Structure 1
């Protein structure tokens, strides 16, 4: 999936204009990079096209700690949007990531996020139970 397709999926999920979805996608990925280990960022980036994965590369900035409210504030600041738009966009980006990478990689990502993030991440679909 190339960045324009990723952004299109985020735009549809969040019901945001494409340009704003692109800005929020970059902000969420950069903020995730602040929150997860360098190794996890590299693993996640390896499953994404270079264009998208480059936003996960870099040194963590000050303020990488904190819960979902701090995360959303950083996304809002980076994207230049209000916190409500940042939340809708963040949910859309996480949902698109969930659909783009392997289940195991998404679980590894979520495991590195603070507990309060559960509400922002849709449950990972489980395979149907076979009788």
Structure 2
């Protein structure tokens, strides 16, 4: 899936104009890269087309603080949109990612995010905990 197709999927899901969906997609991917480890970011990017994966290419240290609300405010700030629009867009981006990467990779991504992110894409299976 090339970036234009990724954006089209986000645009349809979020019912946003294509240009705004592209901006939000970039903001969500860049903000995700700040929340996950560099290894997970590279693993996720490896399953995405270069155009999409490149937004994960320069991750921060991983594990940025704050839950889903802080994440959405960061996306809203980056994309220059209202937090409610950021939430709709983030849900659409996560749903599109879920369809684009393998189930295992998506589970690995979700495992590094706070539990509040589960509500953004239902249902998100969490990997079982080791007993």
Fold match by TM threshold 0.5 = yes
Aligned to 1:99: 99
> In the aligned structure 2, how far is the partner of 1:43 from the partner of 1:59?
12
Aligned to 2:74: 74
> In the aligned structure 2, how far is the partner of 1:61 from the partner of 1:121?
25
**Contact 2:30/2:59, CA 8 A, preserved across alignment:** no
> In the aligned structure 2, how far is the partner of 1:52 from the partner of 1:41?
12
Cα root mean square deviation, aligned: 1.6
SS where residue 86 of structure 1 aligns?
helix
What TM-score, normalized by structure 1, do the two folds share? 0.91
**Contact 1:91/1:121, CA 8 A, preserved across alignment:** yes
> In the aligned structure 2, how far is the partner of 1:62 from the partner of 1:111?
13
Aligned to 1:24: 24
User: Which stretch of the first structure deviates more once superposed, 89-98 or 60-69?
Assistant: 60-69
**Contact 1:103/1:124, CA 8 A, preserved across alignment:** no
| Unpaired stretches in structure 1, ≥5 consecutive residues | 126-131
Cα offset, 1:67, TM superposition: 0.2
Aligned to 2:54: 54
What TM-score, normalized by structure 2, do the two folds share? 0.91
- Give the 4+ runs in structure 1 shifted more than 4 A: none
Aligned to 1:128: none
Cα offset, 1:61, TM superposition: 7.1
> In the aligned structure 2, how far is the partner of 1:24 from the partner of 1:68?
16
After the TM superposition, which residues 104-115 of structure 1 pair with which residues of structure 2 at under 5 Å, given as runs? Answer: 104-115=104-115
> In the aligned structure 1, how far is the partner of 2:123 from the partner of 2:62?
30
